[in-house]
Structure 1
Amino acid sequence: MLDRPRGQVAFRLIHDTDRPFLEYLHATTRAWEFELVTWEETEKARFLKQQFEAQDLSYQRSFPKANRHIITLDGVDIGRLYLDRQDDVLYIIEFSLLPQYQGRGIGTDILRSLLNEAHGGKVPVRLKVERLNPAQRLYLRHGFVQTGVVGHHLALEWRPQLGPREV
């Protein structure tokens, strides 16, 4: 594991000018999908851009009230977090960090904060993760359990303990 970040993690709303960063982030976090693909780099880039555009449109249509944020570390854009906070569930739509910021505890800290929020609201946290995505380990380590399969994705859920807590 790399050193923990010593900077300030923050969130800011996404603007139209963030599109190039979001496309780049999407491409870098999908590198594992292309390990066995023999496509030319231009083909990969074109496919990833189309994939990002389709995903972005799908997210906007499926979750019109979602909070969409860029994750920053000391003012540097390092990831994205899309959340849909409903009365009965906290849904993590998208949570990704640039590869050079993974494994440093940033994702763990953000996820723990979301789980604390859900615990306080006594609501489950749900998400979908691709079956082979390495991020799946992060969720399983934090008590998420598989609740189903949706295409190439696993549906995962974390439930707060509703009994009394020790202080």
Structure 2
Amino acid sequence: MWRIPANVGAGKSDSATRLSRADFTIREEDGVCYLTPRSPGQGWARAARAGLSFRRARDADLPFLARVHAASRADAFAAAPWPDAKKAAFVNMQFNLQHLHQRKHHPQADWLVIMRDGCDAGRLYLERRGSWHRIIDIALLPEHRARGAGEALLRDLMDEAASCGKALWIHVEKINPAMRLFRRLGFTVEEDNGLYEQLQWRR
């Protein structure tokens, strides 16, 4: 069974809150241990200063999560020669398939709704495992982008992984404008999957 390192939360960080074993629940499945903070967003000080807070997603949030997904795919489908109704139907089908796939293959992930100043603003799906953390998905609605919130949250996620001595992974579509941010923050390409790149960051 994987154990939380003795120095969890002891790394240098801009976060005001240090995490300890008591801040996490530990679940084991098929010989793999997963960590989940008891309070979503605990220790993410930069995100808090940017006005972000977090809550765990519920089934009632599916329409909102679908809207976030649709907003994240708007640029990709802007030039498609389809009627708007057909685009919307396709993106909704894509969301449903993605949601089922993610829930099946990452059952122990933390599924969070990102809030800004009390309003639902985006989604963050994060999986914490023995030697790495994976950002399954991170997305904000257009009105909450380009205001520093995304970078603040990413830096908190980097700090959390580093404090446990872990790498942080994410798959990013090559045409995603956020790729510039990941590069600037020091993420490197670990694998090229054609349309996507698997990025990794480690302190």
What TM-score does the superposition give when structure 1 sets the normalisation length? 0.89
Work out the CA distance in 1 between the residues paired with 2:90 and 2:183. 30
Change (3 A) 1:143 1:37: same
Change (3 A) 1:7 1:93: closer
Work out the CA distance in 2 between the residues paired with 1:49 and 1:8. 29
Q: How far 1:6 moved relative to its partner?
A: 7.5
Q: Give deviations 1:87-106, integer Å, cap 9, x for gaps.
A: 10010000000011111000
SS at match of 2:170: strand
Q: Paired residues, what number?
A: 156
Unaligned runs of 5+ in 2: 1-47
Q: How far 1:7 moved relative to its partner?
A: 6.3
Structure 1 residue 63 and structure 2 residue 112: aligned? no
> Structure 1 residue runs of 4+, over 6 Å off?
none
Q: Give deviations 1:99-144, integer Å, cap 9, x for gaps.
A: 1111100000000000111111111100101111111111111000
Q: Give deviations 1:52-110, integer Å, cap 9, x for gaps.
A: 00111111111110000000011100000000000100100000000111110000000
Structure 1 residue 98 and structure 2 residue 98: aligned? no
The match for 2:13 is none
The match for 2:78 is 35
Structure 1 residue 25 and structure 2 residue 61: aligned? no
The match for 2:122 is 79
Work out the CA distance in 2 between the residues paired with 1:62 and 1:136. 25
Structure 1 residue 119 and structure 2 residue 149: aligned? no
Q: How far 1:151 moved relative to its partner?
A: 4.2
Fraction of identical pairs, as percent = 38
Unaligned runs of 5+ in 1: 161-167
What TM-score does the superposition give when structure 2 sets the normalisation length? 0.74
Work out the CA distance in 1 between the residues paired with 2:116 and 2:70. 20
Change (3 A) 1:113 1:7: closer
Work out the CA distance in 2 between the residues paired with 1:44 and 1:11. 30
Work out the CA distance in 1 between the residues paired with 2:171 and 2:50. 29
Work out the CA distance in 2 between the residues paired with 1:137 and 1:70. 24
Q: How far 1:8 moved relative to its partner?
A: 2.6
| TM-align CA RMSD | 1.4
Give the letter aligned to residue 84 of structure 2.
E
| Contact 2:127 2:133 survives alignment (8 Å) | yes
Q: How far 1:43 moved relative to its partner?
A: 0.4
The match for 2:171 is 128
Structure 1 residue 12 and structure 2 residue 55: aligned? yes
Work out the CA distance in 2 between the residues paired with 1:6 and 1:121. 23
Work out the CA distance in 1 between the residues paired with 2:94 and 2:126. 20
SS at match of 1:29: helix
